[in-house]
């Protein structure tokens, strides 16, 4: 018989150099229903000496995350990203602007990197439906920040 709890949850765990708390505050300032849950002081000596906090537990719109000040060993890359599903163009514009602020960068096809190097996809809520259209996908491939109206027009062609 398994001893694993059936109500377990999966929590994204993000490895930062020494700015996990700063990043958690940045993210919780962007997404609604978000908050810092707990900070764990750095008492182990295993995290960079400049980080007063070892771990930060936080929620982004109800999804729990953990951030670690672990040092510069493991930088973020595009192989993992977080998808933000948006109902309107105004939402896409707002998340895009806020996530690319202060040194973030636009990538391609609705992808961006924030100032910490974390990859995000800011997409229409109905992206799967739009992706069924070859012309909409061709239009998407030419965009950085996605334009819902243009994608919908392309899907109608």
Q: What is the mean pLDDT for each group of 10 consecutive residues in the chain (157 residues)?
A: 53 95 98 96 67 92 94 92 98 98 97 98 97 97 98 96
**Which CATH class name applies to 81-156?**
alpha beta
Specify the pLDDT at position 43.
82
Specify the pLDDT at position 49.
56
C-alpha span between 151 and 157 (Å, rounded): 10
Q: Does domain 13-69 fall into CATH 3.10.180.10?
A: yes
Specify the pLDDT at position 2.
39
Residue with structure tokens 């150099």? 17
Specify the pLDDT at position 47.
53
Specify the pLDDT at position 9.
85
- How many other β-carbons are positioned within 10 Å of the β-carbon of residue 89? 15
Residue with structure tokens 């109206």? 149
- According to CATH, where is 3.10.180.10 located in the chain? 13-69, 81-156
Specify the pLDDT at position 3.
44
Specify the pLDDT at position 109.
97
Q: How far is CA 82 from CA 6, 18, 40, 45, 46, in A?
A: 25, 21, 24, 30, 28
Specify the pLDDT at position 123.
98
Q: Which of 75, 73, 44, 69 is nearest to 56 (CA)?
A: 69
């Amino acid at each position: 018989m398994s001893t694993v709890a059936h109500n377990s949850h999966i929590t994204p765990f993000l490895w930062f150099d020494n700015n996990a708390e700063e990043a958690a505050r940045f993210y919780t300032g962007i997404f609604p229903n978000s908050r810092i849950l707990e900070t764990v002081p750095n008492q182990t000596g295993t995290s960079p000496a400049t980080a007063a906090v070892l771990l930060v537990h936080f929620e982004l719109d109800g999804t729990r995350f953990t951030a670690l000040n672990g040092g510069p060993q493991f930088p973020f890359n595009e192989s993992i990203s977080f998808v933000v599903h948006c109902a309107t163009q105004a939402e896409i514009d707002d998340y895009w602007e806020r996530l690319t602020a202060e040194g973030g960068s636009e990538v391609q096809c609705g992808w961006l990197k924030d100032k910490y190097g974390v990859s995000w996809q800011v997409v229409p809520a109905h992206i799967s439906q739009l992706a069924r259209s070859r012309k909409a996908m061709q239009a998407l491939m030419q965009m950085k920040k996605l334009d819902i109206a243009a994608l919908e027009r392309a899907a109608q062609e």
